[in-house]
Amino acid sequence: MRTALPRIVEDTVPAGERLDLRSRNYFPAAAGDTWTYSAVQGGASIGTVTRSVSSVSGNDFTIAEAGFGSTEYTNYRSSTEGLVLVDLMGNSVSAAARALIGEILEFAEPFYAVGGTRRSVRQGDWGRDADGDGINESFRLELTQQLVGLETVSLPLGSAETARFRTVMALTLSPSKPSETPYTINATEETWWAPGIGLIRADRSAIDAQNTTVIAPYSLQITGGQVGGSTLFVAPPDGTLTRSP
């Protein structure tokens, strides 16, 4: 029998002065907010994706992302630490693993120093016997994130100084049978967030430990939406363009 991975619940943060840009509102999420994106792969459009705030309750809210024939729901909480993922894996994992994973901070505010790596690790009992030997497997979930920097990006109308993040999530399932090889998926998402608008671009991909493609690289590029009751990228009556802070 392979030795089970020990239980770990660990969050580490980088050194350096933090950057407090909360007044810019990089992560708006009010009832009625919606965003529309063109999904691009290999330079060609492969469809349209919409993100919307599907429910709000106090500091909790849900983002529904619809595209490619399905809708995914992600639950968040706005906290004094930043934007928290309330239930990262949901019903896709056992109750034991779900409880161990718990809440994970996705975007810290104030931001940590540019280039520093923040890391969250959850490791332990998978709560299920996947290889049929009567013994539960174990797992390791590791999320790392860097603020790549602040970058001026052109929008469908005007431009904005965006916050660019690189987030990598690695999930390893470790079978109890020594004859079974542990399996790892690494998902990478590079995101750009604009003040008062939210997510304007996301570059996504995923590979396994053998560098085999699990999710072929593609991008979401914003084309429109409505945030805080205002329609995005509509020129004012006098025709002037304004630049976000």
CATH number, domain at 102? 2.40.360
The answer as to whether 3 is a domain residue is no
Question: In this predicted structure, what is the pLDDT of residue 235?
Answer: 79
CA 221 – CA 244 distance, rounded (Å): 18
Residue at 71 is within a domain: yes
pLDDT in tens, 42-81: 999 999 999 999 999 999 999 999 999 999 999 999 999 9
Per DSSP, the three-state class of 100 is helix
Q: Where are the beta strands (DSSP E) in the chain?
A: 8-12, 34-41, 44-57, 60-67, 70-79, 82-85, 104-108, 117-125, 138-154, 159-174, 183-194, 198-208, 213-227, 230-231
For the record, the structure tokens of 203 come out as 């570059």
Please report the pLDDT score of residue 239 as a whole number: 55
The whole-angstrom separation of Cα 145 and Cα 168 is 6
The set of residues, in sequence order, having a beta carbon less than 8 Å from that of 83 and lying 6+ positions away, is: 27, 76, 77, 105, 106, 107, 109
State the residue range of the domain holding 66. 8-231
In a domain, 244, yes or no: no
pTM: 0.93
Residue 52 inside a domain? The answer is yes
Q: Summarize pLDDT for 64-74 with one digit per residue, the tens.
A: 999 999 999 99
Q: What is the number of domains present in the chain?
A: 1
Tell me whether residue 2 is in a domain: no
Among 9, 190, 204, 191, CA closest to 103: 9
Does residue 237 lie within any of the structural domains? Answer: no
pLDDT at 244: 47
DSSP secondary structure letters along 145-180: EEEEEEEEEE-SSSEEEEEEEEEEEEEEEE-SSTTS
Gap between the Cα atoms of 84 and 11, Å rounded: 13
User: Three-state DSSP class for 126?
Assistant: coil
Q: Which residues of the chain have pLDDT under 50?
A: 242-245
List 146's β-bridge partners, or say none: 117, 166
pLDDT number for residue 61 = 97
Rounded to the nearest angstrom, the gap between the alpha carbon of residue 19 and the centroid of all alpha carbons in its chain is 20
Q: What pLDDT is stored for residue 89 in this prediction?
A: 87
